[in-house]
Amino acid sequence: MKKSKLLIKVEKVHYHHLLHHHHQMKLVLQHNELEAFMIYMRVVDITGFIYGRNSKHHNLRRNNKQPPGPSNLPIIGSIHRLLGSKPTHRTLRQLSATYGPIMRLKFGEVPVVVISSSEAAEAIMKTNDFAFASRPISASVDTIFYGGNDIIFGRYDEFWRQMRRLCATQLLSLKRVRSFRAIRQREISRLVRSIAAAPSGSFINLSEELFNLSNNITAFSVIGGRFKEQKLYVSTLGEVALLVNGFSPADLFPSIPGFIMRLTGCRKKLELCRLKLNRVADMIVREHRAKQGSKDTNDDVEDFTDVLLKIQEEGALPFHLSDDHIKAVVNVCSFLVEGKDMLIGGSETSSTAMDWAMSELVRHPEVMKKVQQEVREAFEEGVEHKEEAILSGKLRYLQMVVKETLRLHPPLPLLLPRVNDEACEVMGYEIPTGTTVLVNAWAIGRDPKHWQDPESFLPERFEDNSVDFKGGNFDLIPFGGGRRMCPGINFGLATVETTLANLLYYFDWEYKGKEELDMTEGFGVGTRRKSPLCLAASLRLPLPPA
């Protein structure tokens, strides 16, 4: 992307001015040169999320060997090194080629370590998993998400362990994921029908369709579907995404967050959003409670909110599950779903994975043919058995296609950041307390030391290779690893595999653009496609009765 004058200006601004002359930033925004500013913001997005209230990095012992890294500028540290036209994970891989697989950076006040090899990832997420089990929390995230008392942002303590166990066993277990089968089937069937109904020869904006599908599946599973104040809820989540995702000096300088948040008015806005979200979450909880009380539970699938309310009523947990806890889970799950450009890019994970899988398939017709043949043969027995065939692992080649897609395009290329609550040594280097750790899963998946022909899309590489992404092998970590590994892996894979299987079963897909399909990644913490994937679909098999 060509750098505009403004970006150059922003890059050159003396950062003292940024801090002490906030009005300059306002001026920048008034110029409305958002394109340039967004590049700058992209850097700050990450730092905003990374800088945490956990930043007690005072115990740095100067005698110990620290990881190598580039030199820092006063105040901003190494943020300027991330500026440019490339997504952050690519820039970090380039930097690590000079400084090594454990690289030290500094974002504003906060020390950051970037991990770029599977050995170093294992040292963090296995050998020292306990030490790196917390997440850094920015002041803005802290304000909006119930003081970090939830699963994603929670500190690693007893309460968090209980919440996570509850999630793994009650909300995201394989059994529960299977129980959402009807939701998946209904939503996928809707999508298939709407694609089939499109005028022949027209292009389907598959990126958008897949995003909506993934949203709907999660919304129905978490809160049972649509609700009265959905518009207000979604627009507030959008506002939060902007505030948390935007330029947040409070997140840059966590030693004085309160002062800066007041100065910028950010706290007030966030608190207002929190009130609105709280009101809607209250309503969701109240309606679920009334539904349970009325005995009119008909044959609806039990959603996450139902399950949490039941657990609350049974009181079998070693701690009191309050309404606030339930609302935090509901809000976080929804935030993952709706907060499109949100810092964690969360829910987009499943739709991003499907988007890239379809992109790679249309670029590799021989792979497309093979996977379609597998799916069509397996489903000959009858479409009603489709999901069983998928979840029981019958479609091996489809699984290889998904694995290869996640190797090349992990939806969260830098996973989610971690922070150490105590100083520790990793591969001979001292990592001081409060260091934010970013693991470059994207670079690790393309490391030529471990992958032959790493940049090519070759699902066959998994034929005789038992490497899996379930957390045991650090060469492939699209779901992370260790204590903070993604607990939604079954949920995510069920959505991805079932949707892809259906799209490949019913339709033949073609990219008809004049130029080669653009595979550029957009900016943001997630690796979404820069431009939407628009494909032509031809129905090849009759649709089942509605």
Which chain residues interact with ligand HEM by CB under 6 A? 135, 151-152, 164, 218, 349-350, 353, 411-412, 415-416, 478-481, 484-488, 491-492, 496
Considering beta carbons, is residue 81 or 529 the nearer one to ligand HEM? 529
CB of 537 to ligand HEM, least distance (A): 23
**How far, in Å, CA of 43 to CA of 238, rounded?**
20
**How far, in Å, CA of 124 to CA of 482, rounded?**
9
For residue 235, give the amino acid letter.
Answer: S
Q: Is 167 annotated as a binding residue?
A: no
Considering beta carbons, is residue 28 or 402 the nearer one to ligand HEM? 402
Residue 510's φ and ψ, nearest 5 degrees, are -145, 140
Q: Characterize 409-433 residue by residue with b for buried, 16 or more Cβ atoms within 10 angstroms of its Cβ, and e for exposed.
A: bbbbbbbbbbbbbebbebbebbbbb
Distance of CA 108 to the CA centre of its chain: 24
Q: For 499, what's the count of Cα atoms within 13 Å in the CB-facing half-sphere? A: 32
Contact, 63 vs 430, CB < 8 A?
Answer: no
Considering beta carbons, is residue 224 or 480 the nearer one to ligand HEM? 480
CB of 262 to ligand HEM, least distance (A): 29
Considering beta carbons, is residue 151 or 252 the nearer one to ligand HEM? 151
Collapsed DSSP state (helix, strand, coil) of residue 507: strand
Dihedral angle computed from the Cα positions of residues 147, 152, 157 and 158, in that order, rounded to the nearest 10 degrees? 100
| Alpha-carbon torsion (467, 469, 474, 477), positive or negative | positive
CB of 480 to ligand HEM, least distance (A): 2
**How far, in Å, CA of 439 to CA of 418, rounded?**
9
CB of 375 to ligand HEM, least distance (A): 19
CA angle 168-89-215, nearest 5°?
45
Distance set, CA 191 to CA 180, 181, 281, 444 (Å): 17, 15, 28, 34
CB of 545 to ligand HEM, least distance (A): 30
**How far, in Å, CA of 411 to CA of 405, rounded?**
10
Residue with tokens 């100067």: 62
Residue with tokens 């970037």: 114
Contact, 252 vs 107, CB < 8 A?
Answer: yes
Distance set, CA 234 to CA 174, 219, 266, 270 (Å): 29, 12, 19, 15
Considering beta carbons, is residue 152 or 395 the nearer one to ligand HEM? 152
CB of 341 to ligand HEM, least distance (A): 17
Considering beta carbons, is residue 108 or 488 the nearer one to ligand HEM? 488
Considering beta carbons, is residue 266 or 390 the nearer one to ligand HEM? 390
Beta-carbon contacts of residue 501 (< 8 Å; ≥ 6 apart): 375, 379, 386, 390, 395, 398
Considering beta carbons, is residue 312 or 347 the nearer one to ligand HEM? 347
Considering beta carbons, is residue 52 or 478 the nearer one to ligand HEM? 478
Contact, 496 vs 350, CB < 8 A?
Answer: yes
Considering beta carbons, is residue 41 or 344 the nearer one to ligand HEM? 344
Structure tokens at 372: 């379609």
CB of 452 to ligand HEM, least distance (A): 23
Beta-carbon contacts of residue 290 (< 8 Å; ≥ 6 apart): none
CB of 22 to ligand HEM, least distance (A): 33
CB of 414 to ligand HEM, least distance (A): 9
CB of 281 to ligand HEM, least distance (A): 17
Point out the annotated binding site for heme: 486
